[in-house]
Structure 1
């Protein structure tokens, strides 16, 4: 395999600079007067653009403490361990995992009277059925995305990338990577099952059987995988370093590579995949609720900020009119052909307690195998 001509240092620096255009007072015109204190945020890499963070701190006097997370299950366990007095104010929860956090009494419903920037969110996301539970809004949608098969287009063909089978093929053994927990749902879909497990709510024995099948499949194919990874930045680094040539990925990290000029393609394979929405949520009994709402109103304040989040993360902004601040290449890296979109389902939460009660132990078993 020929080494790609790509300066990794250039890649990292250009990616990090994606939010630099935010440094203008116009973007934080809704920010409150200096009030001081701090706000503690658990979120994914690049979900708080650095330029926005710096300007927010300058204009409000509120120190922003960001703790990066890479897994919803770990975040849930950490928050549950801290309850009822968490150290975090705002966290990033995927919409399909709301119920797990809500049923465990870990989140506070949003006070929309205090969230003056709510109207800046596209109602496709803010008013969709998954976003309202027990008559309350529990999260402010910020970014949406999907699970894709990403591949080095100088090595893997577009035709090969039309099926998840290629990820587990002998041809690319040792050149692939994926997030185990996410792949469990996709493997169930590959096997013809409902990866959301909603169809098996009344048949827990069937659900356990399906998870066992998916677990055994991943254990059998474990010798072929280069690495089980946790976060998008790790996936990007493996691709740039040519440690891997294909892998399961969120579309955000893949899009960021495409926008930097890396020869990457991504598909929603014919067996199907899942989409999701990330939201900002307020922890129940959070230590700095006033600063949390100040932060949310500021980061939801304009489509430019939404575009900066897309540029930095590669995920699709939920903000109204944010796409007008993207280049043609950036727009292209966040879209898919209609025939592939037809293969997409959205994660659902109705069966989450049963699903993750089975999946989380299975993930640990795969790691230990």
Structure 2
């Protein structure tokens, strides 16, 4: 348990204690019900639009969303580990967080025979403890008006010559470490934290700016306060659709992949409905809809996506060879140290 601190664990424990004191009203009931842990905002809305309303509710399954950031939801899963029945059935996390929860011993070992749609799941998105629902890659984002010539990779993004035009997104600190390591090693190593820190400190001294959220950074890009950073390609597509002046470049050093997926809690009170929810998200209609609505690539084969859209959200055959999965064990082990340095040194 490394990617969230003791305060988050205590918050999760508090939720458990409150539920117990009140006669466990937070517990999902057996029968036609499933409680889904997820981020809020557009993602939660699209789960309802593309999965819950057309598929689950049509089967008579009542869906309840437990919306929160991933850190408190992870903390709650760990705090509820001692309970025979938890409060949430299925949780949405990044691939790194899914791995961490598996290591914490709070996820169900998936029975893929209960997931008929998993027959089309890409092998790289099939984990013993969870499934990938959507994916994208970390690319360089830039404003051609402010940044010229066009960057080719992470090293160009993290060139101190851009000064205050370089932007960072606070919540993306793990991805920033990975990009900085790739920049420093010419694409050879994603995990060289010492060299990554050297690169990042040089950019800090040059005036690089840190923004608290994706949305705050998007506003800064729109106002031309910053001109270059790195973000998931899906976000670039969303921001282009919103009229923000930006282009994407797949980094020559390699394209770290981002996977968003789901795990089932080991003590899920409605486990069969959790499997039904997981299977529904792998059906063709919602997979295709998320490509349109969010700009993410689907994780099952045989999808029909408009070629023009696929060109914007996907990767060429040559770029696909540069897609790189993350070292989830390394991230789980080093996350606390990375976050501490980021907060106390880089942002200080």
The 8 Å contact of residues 150 and 267 in structure 1, kept in 2 or not, is answered as yes
Q: Residue 177 in 1 paired to residue 168 in 2? A: yes
> Partners in 2 of 1:364 and 1:78 — Cα distance?
24
Whether 2:214 is the aligned partner of 1:227: answer no
Distance 1:212 1:274 in 2: 19
Q: 2:306 corresponds to which residue?
A: 327
Q: Which residue of 1 aligns with 2:337?
A: 358
**Structure 2: stretches of 5+ with no match in the other structure:** 1-30
Specify whether residues 36 and 77 from structure 1 end up closer, same or farther in structure 2 by C-alpha distance, changes over 3 A only.
closer
Q: Deviations over 1:212-251 (max 9, x none)?
A: 44335434433523324444x4544443454432221011
Q: 2:292 aligns with which of 308, 311, 321?
A: 311
Following superposition, the deviation at residue 74 of structure 1 comes to 6.0
Q: Provide closer, same or farther for how the CA distance between residues 239 and 319 of structure 1 changes in structure 2, counting only shifts above 3 A.
A: farther
Which of 259, 267, 290 matches 1:277? Answer: 259
Displacement of 1:306 after TM fit?
0.3
SS at the partner of 1:330? helix
Is 1:160 equivalent to 2:151 in the alignment?
Answer: yes
Distance verdict in 2 for CA 1:77–1:148, change over 3 Å: farther
Question: Aligned with 1:186: secondary structure?
Answer: helix
Query: Runs in 1 of length 4+ with deviation above 6 angstroms?
Result: none
The normalised TM-score by structure 1 is 0.71
Show the counterpart of 2:37: 41
Offset at 1:282?
0.8
Is 1:44–1:92's contact at 8 Å kept on the other side of the alignment? no
Judge conservation of contact 1:40–1:66 (CA < 8 Å) in 2.
yes
Distance 1:290 1:240, change over 3 A: farther
SS at structure 2 position matched to 1:252: helix
Q: How many residues align?
A: 308
- 1:112 to 1:234, Cα distance in 2 relative to 1, 3 A: farther
Give TM-score scaled by structure 2 length. 0.75
Distance of aligned partners of 1:124 and 1:297 in 2 relative to their CA distance in 1, 3 Å threshold: same
User: CA contact under 8 A between 2:167 and 2:210: conserved in structure 1?
Assistant: yes
Cα distance in structure 2, aligned partners of 1:76 and 1:46: 21
Q: C-alpha distance in 1, partners of 2:174/2:228?
A: 18
Alignment of 1:130-145 (within 5 A): 131=127, 137-145=128-136
Tell me if 1:113 matches 2:124: no
